[in-house]
Amino acid sequence: MQAFTELTGIAAPLPLANVDTDKIIPARFLKTIKRTGLGVHLFDTLRYGPAGEERPDFVLNQAPYRHAEILVAHENFGCGSSREHAPWALLDFGIRCVIAPSFADIFHNNCYKNGILPVTLPREICDQLMDDARLGGNARITVDLVRQVVIRPSGEEIAFAIDPFRKHLMLNGLDDIGQTLQRATKIDGFEGNRTAEQPWFPGITV
């Protein structure tokens, strides 16, 4: 996983609530066996017309936002399915940070696993950042994970919260599995006790 320390980039405004994972990437694009290549289908139904033509009114089809690295949205971003194809599509497009008043739980988790930073800030702050984002190529927003601040184009700093363990993994680009395997002895012990205490669960063999 790519480490995330600090990011300065163009932010795309997406003033929609309840952006579901079918909207981020429709199910028909989940037939891939790879993690890459999904960026072209990001927000497919919002981004393209019936004949596959770009909809000029959609933000990511507009010049400065084709290079957006930050997305600013409204409440409950990423609701719906568990598909990790949603963060994969965002990442493949170039988005490394999503800022919203709230996120759906599974999507929120999936972002961290892919080096995408989900930043939760109150709605009124998100609305200010949305206005900044509307300045397009004339503005840059900085997200500094080390200091846990979002820096507006005006220089104003806004603090955000993150779990210390998540932060540690993100800053160092660490793989969760490697972290957990450091506790292999504890897992062995737990598993042994559990089998001894509850021997009635049969294993699955078909």
Of 106 and 139, which has the nearer Cβ to other proteins?
A: 106
What distance in Å separates the CA atoms of residue 70 and residue 26, rounded to the nearest whole number?
21
Instruction: Look up residue 113 and give its amino acid.
Output: K
3-class SS letters over 100-125: ECCECHHHHHHHHCCCCEEEECCHHH
Which stretch in 3-11, 28-36, 137-145, 146-154 sits in contact with other proteins by CB under 8 A? 28-36
Which residues in the 36-95 window bind other proteins by CB under 8 A? 45, 50, 74-76, 79-84, 87
* Neighbouring-strand partners of residue 97: 70, 117
Of 82 and 172, which has the nearer Cβ to other proteins?
A: 82
**Which residue do the tokens 């990442």 mark?**
91
What sign has the CA pseudo-torsion 151, 155, 156, 159? positive
Q: Which of 3, 66, 172, 194 binds other proteins (CB under 8 A)?
A: 194
Which residues in the 118-157 window bind other proteins by CB under 8 A? none
Of 110 and 132, which has the nearer Cβ to other proteins?
A: 110
What distance in Å separates the CA atoms of residue 69 and residue 123, rounded to the nearest whole number?
20
Shortest Å distance, C-beta 9 to other proteins: 24
In 3-state terms, what secondary structure has residue 66? helix
Which of 83, 77, 68 minimizes the C-alpha distance to 26?
A: 83
Shortest Å distance, C-beta 153 to other proteins: 24
Which residues in the 95-114 window bind other proteins by CB under 8 A? 102, 104-106, 109-110, 113-114
Residues that bind other proteins in the complex, under the rule CB under 8 A: 17-18, 20, 22-23, 26-28, 30-35, 45, 50, 74-76, 79-84, 87, 102, 104-106, 109-110, 113-114, 163-166, 176-177, 179-181, 183-184, 186-187, 190-191, 194, 198-206
